[in-house]
Structure 1
C-alpha cells in the first residue's frame, strides 16, 4: 500500500515537472533570455539588492528586448530609448494593458543636531497629496499621516522582498499565513480609514461645488447613477489609495536623493541660491511660473529626477493583442517591463550619463533644455498622471528650502553612500544632515 502511494506520488511529481517545463518554453520568435528554473523561473538570477545591474548585464547579453520568467509567467524587459519609444509611444495601444496577477495589483485592489530627513519628506509629500485628494492638511504627528506613511513604507519594503517574489512565482501559497499577509492587512486598514473619509465628505459636500478629488468623484458618481457605470465607491477608495501611494513614495524619495546630492555638492547648492535670490528679489514666495527665469534651478531639479531614478521599472504593462517589437513576436497578455533606468543613464543620450551634473540639462548658452531621453515618468498614454503635480511640488519645495536654509554634510559622517535601496520605488540609505538658517532670513 505504502509502495503504491510512493509510486503515485512520484508519477504526479513527474507529470507536474514536465507540465512546468513545458510552460517555461519560449515560443518561436519570442524575445531571447536566460534559461529559467522550475518554480521560480529567472527570479533566482536577479538579486534583490540591485536588480537594475543584473537587468543591464542581461541586456548586454541578449539585446534591448529580452525575456524572463516570473515563476512560469513570461515577461519582456525593454531597454533603451529607441525600443521603449516604439513600445510605449509608437505602438502605445498594443502595450497599454496592465498585468493583473502580481502582488502589487492585488494590494491596490484590496480594500542644531543633525536630522534624518526621511520621515520629514514622507510627511511633507503625503500632506500635499492629502490636500489634493481630501482638501485637508495635517500636523506631522497626526495619526492619519502616521497611518498612511507607515503603510506605504512597509508595503514598499515587502514588494521588493523574497515574500513578494514567492507570491508572484507560486500562486498556490497566496492564501497561506505567510509574512506578505501583513501588507494586505495594512492595506485593508487604510481602506477602512478612507471609507470613513468618504462618509464624512458625503455629509458635508455641496453637489456641483467640489472642494477636492473626493468631491469631484462623488459628483460624477451621482451624475452617472448605477446603470452600467464604471464609477463606484469601491473604485473611489482604490483610486485614492493608489494616488496616495504614488504621490507619497516617489516624491519623498526623490527629495531624499536630491538633498543627499546637494549637501555633498555645496557649489551647486550655492549657485542655485544665487539664481533664486536674483529672480525672487522682493517676493515673499516662489511660484511655479518662476521656473522660466531659473534655468539652472530647473536643470538641477531635472537632474535630481534623472539621477534619483525612483521608479526605474515604471509600472508594468502588458500587451493588449499579438504584436511585434524590434522584430520579435510578443503574444497578447505578455507582461512588459519598461526599464526606464536604461534610458536615464543611456550613453549617447546624456553629456554625463553616470554623474550628477546639471549640465545634462543646459545648452551652451546656459539655457534649460530637456532631452528626449528624460523619461522618469515613463512615456505614452500610460505615463505617470501625477507628473505635473510632482514637478510643481518638487520645484517649489526645492526653491523654498534652499532660499531659507543651508544644508551641510556632517564632518563625522564619512563618505556619502549613494547605494540605492530597492522597494516598490528606489530610495537612498538613511542619512543625517545639518540644517543652518541663512542669515538674511532670521
Structure 2
C-alpha cells in the first residue's frame, strides 16, 4: 500500500510539473499533441529527423513541437523562415539553449553563445579573419598553394581507382589551420588526424537516438550510461588539442605582430585582463577556435566530395563545367577568383551542390531574444525556434525541381548566374555562418582546379551511382566512393 501511494504521489507531482511548465507558453501555434515529460520524442525516432518534422509541416508552416516538457516552434518553408531570420533578424538572433551543449561547449565560443558574449566574439572573429586574409588575395593564395598539394597527390595515383576523401579533408582543414594556427600540417600528421576523427565522430554521435533523448529529458538520462556521455570525452579531447597549440603560441607571442587568429585572441586577452567581465578568456578562445575549425572544414570537405560524386553521376553537367573552364581559364593558368564572375554555369553548379546536399537539414536552433508577436502568435522570450533549412532549400515555390539536381535553378533565361533568396545553405540573418565567403571561395577554386587538370570517372555506371548520404540527422556526410583522376593532357 505504501509503495502504491508513493507511486501515485510521484505521478501526480510529474503531472503538476508538466502543467506548470506549459501554463505560461504564451499564445503558441498548434502542433501534434505532446506526451507528458517526453513531449513529441516518440514521433522523432527516425535517424533522418527532419523527415518526421516535415511530415507535420505538410499542413502548416509553423507549429509547436514538444521537446520534453518545453515547447519549440518549428518553421518550415521559405516564407516562414525568411520572415523570422531575415525580416525579424534581431528578435530571432538568439541561440537556443540545448542540454547537449552543456556536455560540450557549455555556451562558450561563437556557435552556441548568446547576448553580449556572442556579439563580441562574432565581431572580433569576423574582423580578425578578415585581417588574416578572408576575402583578400592573401587567403586566395593560401588556398591555391594547398590545392597544389592535393593535385600532386591525385597525379601520383596515375589514374588508378582511388578514394579521395582522406586527402580532401586534410587539404581543406589546412586552409583553416593556416588562418587559425598559422601553419599547415602534413597529410600524415597523427595529431591532426586525431582532431579530424574526433570532430567527425561527434557529428555522427549527435545523430544518435540517445543524444536526441538526452535533449528531451536530460535530468533523467544524465544518470544513465550511453553514447551521449562520449560527446563530452570527445569534445574535451578537442579542447586539449587546441589548448596545446595555444600554449605554444603563448611562448612565442609577439603582441606587436600577431601571426594568426590565436595570437590575435591572446593579444586581446592581455588588453582586457583587468576587465572582470571580459569575454576574452581561455574558454572562449578554445571553443571559438573549434567552432571556426568545424565550420571551415567539415562542411566544405563534405560538400567538395559530394560535388565530385555528382559530377560523375551527371557526365553532361561535368562536360559543361569543363567546357567553361577551358574557355575562360584554359589549361595552363591556375584558376583565380576573378574568373568566377565569367563562369556562371560553374557558379550555378557549386550553389546547386550546396542546395541539393543540404548539409545541415535542420540548421542550428534559434531562440527569440524578446517576447515576440509573429504571424499572429505570441512567442515568449527564450522560445526555441527550429528553422528547417531543408524545407527552404527544397521549397517548390522557390526551386522548380527541388528534388532533382539542376544548376538551372541558379541561372536566368540568358544563362547568367542569378542569386536566390531561398539559398540558405549557410542559414540567414544575424546568425548566418560567418565563414560563408571562405567556403564559396574554396569550393570554386578546388573544383575548377581539379577539373582543369583531371578528367574524373567512376567504374560504376552513372545511373548506378548512389547519392544517399553516409548519415543524415544533424549533418550529412557524402558517402564513401572511389574514382579515377586521369590527367587531361593524357586524354587528348
TM-score (norm 1): 0.93
Residues 1:437 and 2:482 are matched in the alignment: no
How much does 1:115 deviate?
2.7
**Aligned in 2, Cα 1:341/1:306: closer, same or farther, shift over 3 Å?**
same
**Aligned in 2, Cα 1:205/1:283: closer, same or farther, shift over 3 Å?**
farther
Q: Aligned runs of 1:14-413 on 2, under 5 Å? A: 14-20=12-18, 23=21, 27=25, 29-61=27-59, 63-104=60-101, 106-109=103-106, 112-172=159-219, 173-227=221-275, 228-281=277-330, 283-411=332-460
Deviates more, 1:20-29 or 1:292-301: 20-29
1:174-196 CA-to-partner distances (Å, cap 9, x unmatched) read 25432221121111111112111
Distance 1:284 1:103 in 2: 48
1:76-112 CA-to-partner distances (Å, cap 9, x unmatched) read 1111222112211221111111122331464123894
Contact kept, 8 Å, 1:156 with 1:423, in 2: the verdict is no
**Aligned in 2, Cα 1:23/1:118: closer, same or farther, shift over 3 Å?**
farther
Distance 1:316 1:114 in 2: 41
**Aligned in 2, Cα 1:409/1:38: closer, same or farther, shift over 3 Å?**
farther
Deviates more, 1:156-165 or 1:225-234: 225-234
Contact kept, 8 Å, 2:62 with 2:74, in 1: the verdict is yes
Distance 1:331 1:381 in 2: 20
Contact kept, 8 Å, 1:257 with 1:428, in 2: the verdict is yes
1:10-30 CA-to-partner distances (Å, cap 9, x unmatched) read 321232244335545784631
Contact kept, 8 Å, 1:78 with 1:337, in 2: the verdict is yes
RMSD: 2.2
Contact kept, 8 Å, 1:108 with 1:241, in 2: the verdict is no
Distance 2:232 2:223 in 1: 11
1:195-239 CA-to-partner distances (Å, cap 9, x unmatched) read 111111112222132221111111222222231322112210010
Deviates more, 1:121-130 or 1:279-288: 279-288
Contact kept, 8 Å, 1:155 with 1:183, in 2: the verdict is yes
**Aligned in 2, Cα 1:216/1:175: closer, same or farther, shift over 3 Å?**
farther
How much does 1:282 deviate?
6.7
SS in 2 for 1:77: strand
How much does 1:317 deviate?
0.6
Q: What are the ranges of 5 or more consecutive residues in structure 1 without an aligned counterpart?
A: none
Contact kept, 8 Å, 2:371 with 2:380, in 1: the verdict is yes
**Aligned in 2, Cα 1:272/1:110: closer, same or farther, shift over 3 Å?**
same
How much does 1:124 deviate?
2.3
